[in-house]
Amino acid sequence: MIIILKSDATAAQRDQLIAHIEQLGLKAHLSEGTFRTILGVIGDESLISADQLRATPGVSDVVPVLPSYKLASREAHPQPSIVDVKGAKFGGGHISFIAGPCAVEDHSRMQAIAAAVKAAGAHVFRGGAYKPRTSPYSFQGMGLEGLKVLRAVGDEFDMPVVSEVTDPRHLDQLVEHVDMLQVGARNMQNFALLAEVGRTSTPVLMKRGMSATLTDLLMCAEYVLAHGNPNVVLCERGIKSFDTATRNLFDVAAVPAIHELSHLPIIVDPSHATGRPDLIPPCALAGIAAGADGVHIEVHDCPAEARSDGPQALLPEQYAELAEAMRSMATLVKKQFPEHEKEI
Ligand code: PEP
Ligand code: MN
């Protein structure tokens, strides 16, 4: 940490700061320039509060040297993490595809969609049983009944399943029925939920909040890691923009930027990022080209009857065509698929 003193800071203020730093068991390195004095703090930065220092007389600014997301940072863990969801691997050169409807619907419809996405090459089946809807009058999801349907269909088609947890009170149900817990964009900063999710060992799909910076996203992942769950996969799903042409703004640069900052895998969700079936294929391919460790896409066999997010759903045949293109792109960027391992 570097402390920059005000140009009119007094010698007494400087000495008090040095004494404070040393009292905490840290070392202070004084560097007096012509116009400004700088204090370098050497030792464990977590022992000292940057905000308290900023409020201390004589201090102009405080610049932390290490990111606050210690466990999620690349510095803490230079090798990429691989998150394994029952054989579907994300990160460290592995790529897996997640597909399914926005919301879990009736059993036969879920069977039809699972059969189609499995045949197209998806590895993980998705569906929300608890839906975070903007309107309290919209379909809120089938709840526990939906989780049971998702689990049964996942088992029937031999696919791991992912579903969203919106409330810590549902966590036990979710952990019992799913292989991966989704934390949605709207709940990314629900810290009580993150702490509870962190106490489980179920892999987590952490979606980026629509107005979250990459640092915000990594701090939320840090909550889960700090509570003991190392299995976090990040997801870029679009951020708010002034432009209404797309549902959100797909931030493809987030993928390589996160890879630089963190060892955690990051996947892309072009369905929520664009909200438009015509834009999903190019954005999915762009995400893989940028290094994404997975792709999450909503698929429905009859979007006009979908109970949630129908307008952005790909039809099974559109998904099958895209999945083939995604495999070619992933091969080009030297990613490994779960089926590669089965071949070995
Ligand atoms: C979803 O996956 O259906 C969903 C609600 O996602 P997000 O939290 O990204 O909006
Ligand atoms: Mn959705």
For the chain, give every domain's residue range. Answer: 2-63, 83-343
Q: Would residue 121 be called left, alpha or beta, if left means φ above 0 and alpha means ψ between -120 and 50 degrees?
A: left
Helix axes 214-226, 254-261, angle to 10 degrees: 50
pLDDT tens digits, residue range 314-336? 999 999 999 999 999 999 999 99
Token reading at 297: 């896409």
Confidence of residue 35 (pLDDT cuts 50, 70, 90): confident
Closest atom of ligand 1 relative to the 186 alpha carbon: 8
Proportion of the chain above pLDDT 90, given as a percent: 93
Q: Which residue has the tokens 């610049």?
A: 63
184 lines ligand 1 (CB under 6 A): yes
Please provide residue 180's backbone torsions phi and psi, each rounded to the nearest 5 degrees.
Answer: -150, 135
316 lines ligand 1 (CB under 6 A): no
State the distance from the centre of ligand 1 to the C-alpha of 187, rounded, in angstroms: 10
Q: Closest ligand to 306 CA?
A: 2
pLDDT for the residue numbered 338: 85
Q: Closest ligand to 239 CA?
A: 1
State the distance from the centre of ligand 1 to the C-alpha of 173, rounded, in angstroms: 19
Token reading at 152: 């049964």
185 lines ligand 1 (CB under 6 A): yes
pLDDT for the residue numbered 340: 78
pLDDT(344) > 60? no
pLDDT(227) > 70? yes
Its CATH architecture, for the domain 83-343, is: Alpha-Beta Barrel (3.20)
pLDDT tens digits, residue range 167-200? 999 999 999 999 999 999 999 999 999 999 999 9
272 lines ligand 1 (CB under 6 A): yes
Atom 3 of ligand 1, residue of closest alpha carbon: 102
102 lines ligand 1 (CB under 6 A): yes
Per-residue pLDDT, averaged over 17-41, amounts to 94
CB 237 within 8 A of CB 246: no
Confidence of residue 342 (pLDDT cuts 50, 70, 90): low
Atom 6 of ligand 1, residue of closest alpha carbon: 184
pTM for the complete prediction? 0.94
Its CATH architecture, for the domain 2-63, is: 2-Layer Sandwich (3.30)
CB 183 within 8 A of CB 212: no
State the distance from the centre of ligand 2 to the C-alpha of 103, rounded, in angstroms: 7
Please provide residue 54's backbone torsions phi and psi, each rounded to the nearest 5 degrees.
Answer: -60, -30
C-alpha distances (whole Å) from 230 to each of 82, 151, 256, 312 are 10, 24, 21, 32
Atom 2 of ligand 1, residue of closest alpha carbon: 102
Nearest to 201 by CA among 235, 184, 178, 234: 178
Q: Closest ligand to 188 CA?
A: 1
183 lines ligand 1 (CB under 6 A): no
Q: How far apart are CA 29 and CA 40, in angstroms?
A: 5
Confidence of residue 45 (pLDDT cuts 50, 70, 90): confident
pLDDT tens digits, residue range 205-219? 999 999 999 999 999
pLDDT tens digits, residue range 135-154? 999 999 999 999 999 999 99
127 lines ligand 1 (CB under 6 A): no
128 lines ligand 1 (CB under 6 A): yes
Proportion of the chain above pLDDT 70, given as a percent: 99
CA angle centred on 306, ends 302 and 307, rounded to 5°: 165
